[in-house]
A and B are shown apart, each in its own frame.
Chain A
Amino acid sequence: MSTTTPSVDGLAVDATDVIESARPAEPHRARGVLHDTWVIARRGLVHMKRQPEQLSDATIQPIMFVVMFAYVFGGAIAVPGGDGGSSPQRYREFLMGGIMAQTLVFTAFGVALSIANDRKNQAVDRFRSLPIANGAVLGGHAVANVIKALLPIVLMSIAGYVVGWRIRGDLLDTAGAYLLMIAFAFAMIWIGVLLGSLVATPEGVTGIAFTVLFPLTFVASTFVPISSMPSALRSVASWNPVTTLSDALRELFGNPNTPTAPGDPWSIAHPVAYTWIWIVGIVAVCAPLAVRAYQRSIDR
């Protein structure tokens, strides 16, 4: 048996360095949480940049959706109400609120995927062996994913403007619309954390996302006015928060909306308030559950 030490160029490790040098200073607690959250958020953003499919989901796809729906469906789907009747222009303005809502719902999918991937790649163990402030890992995922959700919203706003969408509401309403979107994305994060913690693999997450999120975003006023749906489906769609988020955005932007009638459910008559109730409800219920499920998924 050979007993010679293999010589590898550049592998001379100065080990005295390992134990003798001073260790980093004690961190300040408050700075700790924010700092660690941002370090982990930045990693999430680099992940997006390095994964072509995620990058296209956040950039090319939203623009493509706006252009495709505007021009492919624009002439075929009638948006009732208004004095001009239905026209491609009316549909394009109607479309924007829905397509933004759909993108926001899928934030949950992105979060769940990054949580499941972390577990698969054992990043969780790496983080847990480091002196990271409590909550910074989840906080980092949350911050990164809110940013990931807002990038497509900005791109869609620009693409929408190009195809003829206009903000017709006042400044306050417009601010309200964007605030509502940020809040909704924030709520979706907790659903994503819950999903990512409960489902074992990234593949499982993808499966659930497509069987749950797709129907959720299509049985809604996302792309078509719900008045065209059969009555059973219409009742579901009326209470679906994706419908009311779409409608709330249309209302705040001053765009053509699902026309309301005196007999409509409360959710349709008050989409902004109803959507905010959902946001508060999701955060109140899902955030504690999600944190607990996440803890359980990493404590083994």
Chain B
Amino acid sequence: MSTTYAVEAEGLVKHYGDKVALDGVDLAVPTGTVTSILGPNGAGKTTTVRILTTLADATAGRATVAGYDVATQAIEVRRRIGLAAQDATVDPLLTGFENLVMIGELHQLARSDAKVRATELLEQFGLTDAAKRVAGGYSGGMRRRLDLAATLVARPEVLFLDEPTTGLDPRARSELWAVLEGLVGGGATILLTTQYLEEADRLADDILVVDHGRVIARGDARSLKRQVGGDNIGVTVTDPSSLDAVAALLERVTGHDATIDRSDRTVVAATSEGVGGLAEAARALAEAGHEVEDLALRQPTLDEVFLTLTGAPVETDDELEESHR
């Protein structure tokens, strides 16, 4: 069976004045899958989304979304996409309900159908109680949910989510992840950008790591993590004098170097085995009789991924992202 692509881009280049925001990006999102663009501020994530959603023209390169060319068939593309921009773009002076009805009407739904659809979506996104309040008074998490609901009004073929959880507190972030997982599970085609490897790992089938307008790595979360040495196991012990023994034990179990942080009474070592590695470490620690206060598996941060992939820490370029707002 041949794969069909909901989004295809070749050699996208974007210059803002003499700044190069994109420097030849290729990407392909198979229909019914989730692709994540992972990178720091200024890497070109938003620019890529803006070109694919017809908000900006590429300086060079071509792209199709749902089979239509973004440059020459913009209106056809717009009929088939939903975009949740980085700052939730809901209308702060309209109520949640009015926001969704307006979007529905602008998608050429009849007013009565738009109202039915709005009610349905508010219910699905847990906003029924807030339906009659103006969106300006919503919490950050509620605004994002409304924004997401707005992107779904016209039942789009492809969803673009630009940093859907940036700026949310951890609770609102988990809530939004639950919503997004529902969409992903249902087979939606999604292109999402994020600064968090954890988010990309949790939601995406494929991950593109971008830096300075170029794709520097691609693959699924597992293969990327393998490239950076996998997850980390962190052990916090009760007795500081056991730190060296625990470090030696972790090195034996994981086969990676362990680092000791004496002030936190913590030892950290990478593992390529994920949860299996954690279980093995837990068993070994129990057998050796070490008293453990905390034992956790954590993912490498974007910083660590970048450090490994580029040999340099994340270099953010806020100015570039800001310059085209």
Q: A residues near B, CB below 8 A? A: 1, 5-19, 21-27, 32, 35-36, 39-40, 42-43, 46-47, 50-51, 121-123, 125-132, 299-300
Contacts and interface: CB of A to CB of B under 8 A. Distances in A.
A19 B154 contact: no
9 contacts: A6-B175, A11-B124, A15-B183, A19-B189, A39-B105, A121-B89, A122-B87, A131-B106, A132-B78
Interface centre among A47, A127, A131 (most CB of B within 10 A): A131
B139 to A, nearest CB: 13
Given A1-B296, A23-B154, A46-B93, A15 B186 contact: yes
Given A10-B126, A46-B98, A125 B108 contact: no
Contact of A18 (B53, B178, B183): B183
Given A10-B123, A27-B108, A130-B78, A5 B181 contact: yes
Given A18-B155, A300-B325, 4 more contacts: A1-B298, A18-B188, A46-B94, A131-B79
A9 B81 contact: no
Given A50-B93, A131-B75, A13 B182 contact: yes
Given A9-B126, A43-B102, A122-B89, A24 B108 contact: yes
B56 interface: yes
Interface of B: 32, 53-57, 75, 78-81, 83, 85, 87, 89-94, 98, 102-103, 105-109, 113, 123-126, 128, 134, 150, 152, 154-157, 159, 174-175, 177-179, 181-189, 296-299, 324-325
Contacts, number: 146
A15 B188 contact: yes
A50 B55 CA distance: 29
Nearest to B90: A126
Contact of B185 (A1, A15, A26, A129): A15
Nearest to A32: B108
Contact of A131 (B90, B91, B107, B134): B107
B54 A129 contact: yes
Interface centre among A6, A14, A21 (most CB of B within 10 A): A6
A123 B83 CA distance: 12
Given A23-B79, A129-B54, A13 B183 contact: yes
Contact of A39 (B90, B106, B177): B106
Contacts of A9: 126
A15 B94 contact: no
B174 A129 contact: no
B186 A16 contact: yes
A6 B177 contact: yes
B187 A1 contact: no
Given A39-B102, A125-B55, A17 B78 contact: no
A1 B297 contact: yes
B106 A122 contact: no
Contact of B91 (A13, A121, A125): A121
A288 B144 CA distance: 37
Contacts of A32: 108
A51 B93 contact: yes
Contact of A23 (B126, B155, B185): B155
A126 B102 CA distance: 11
B296 A19 contact: no
Contacts of A46: 93-94, 98
Nearest to B47: A300
Nearest to B87: A122
Given A18-B155, A18-B156, A6 B126 contact: no
Interface centre among B106, B109, B152, B325 (most CB of A within 10 A): B106
Contacts of A6: 174-175, 177-178
Contacts of A51: 93
Interface centre among B53, B89, B152 (most CB of A within 10 A): B89
B79 A125 contact: no
A127 B103 CA distance: 9
Given A21-B155, A126-B89, A14 B124 contact: yes
Contacts of B125: 10-11, 13
Contacts of B106: 36, 39-40, 127, 130-132
Contacts of A5: 178, 181
A236 B275 CA distance: 82
Contacts of B80: 23
A130 B103 contact: yes
Given A11-B126, A19-B157, A43-B102, A129 B55 contact: yes
A204 B296 CA distance: 52
A129 B155 contact: no
A131 B177 CA distance: 28
B325 to A, nearest CB: 8
Contacts of B123: 10
Contacts of B175: 6, 8, 11
A11 to B, nearest CB: 5
Contacts of A18: 152, 155-156, 159, 183, 186, 188
Contacts of A22: 155
Nearest to A137: B106
Contacts of A127: 106
Contacts of A24: 107-109, 113, 154
A32 B109 CA distance: 11
Given A1-B298, A21-B155, A24-B108, A125 B184 contact: no
B67 to A, nearest CB: 14
B124 A19 contact: no
Contacts of A35: 105, 108
